[in-house]
Amino acid sequence: MNVAHSRYAPLAFDFPVSRSVKAGIFVIGLCLAVGVVVLAWTSPILATAYWQQWVIVIAALVIWGICCLVAARHWRYAPTGSLKWDGCEWFWCSEQWAGSFVALNTVKVIWDAQHFVLIRGEWSSTHGSSSLWLWCDQSMAPSRWGELRRALIWRCEQPNT
């Protein structure tokens, strides 16, 4: 990396990642909003006495309930650990993986809401490729939030030879 290029590069840091309260509130709000839509859609059917239409209502409520449970489970078992930027590459370290670092091939910002971001990291192993979804919240490490956001948009480039 040349000197002019590295002068603006984000410095190395670790960002602690835990279960995001904002992500949990978002999941609850989304489930409630979809529930209201499902009930509004099925409310005219509830006034009828046809059993075939009641089957549609029950199926819609069951599907909604399953989706809410999957979303809540995803939030409950969200990965915790440390997202490490070494100046050019990303690494993930988790206590669930015995504290070992995994080099991430790609890190993509899926949703940037200024105070929290949804990140998707991918890595390759002998068993194929895997992905990791992380909700990073400013409240997890306020002093490192700017560094994280800078590094997420940074593209590491090789010097011209």
Residue 3: pLDDT above 50? no
Domain extents in the chain = 3-19+79-153, 22-76
Spell out the alpha helix ranges (H) of the chain. Answer: 3-6, 21-46, 51-76, 145-153
* Residue 136: how many other CB atoms lie within 10 Å: 24
Class of residue 154 by CB neighbours under 10 A (exposed 0-12, middle 13-18, buried 19+): middle
Contact 126, 154 (CB under 8 A): no
Contact 119, 109 (CB under 8 A): yes
SS3 state at 43: helix
Model confidence pLDDT, tens digit, residues 100-156 = 788 898 999 999 988 989 999 998 877 778 888 899 999 999 999 999 999 998 865
3-19+79-153: CATH, from 3.30.1370, 3.40.1000, 2.60.40, 2.30.29: 2.30.29
Averaged pLDDT score across all residues of the chain = 84
Model confidence pLDDT, tens digit, residues 8-24 = 778 899 999 998 888 88
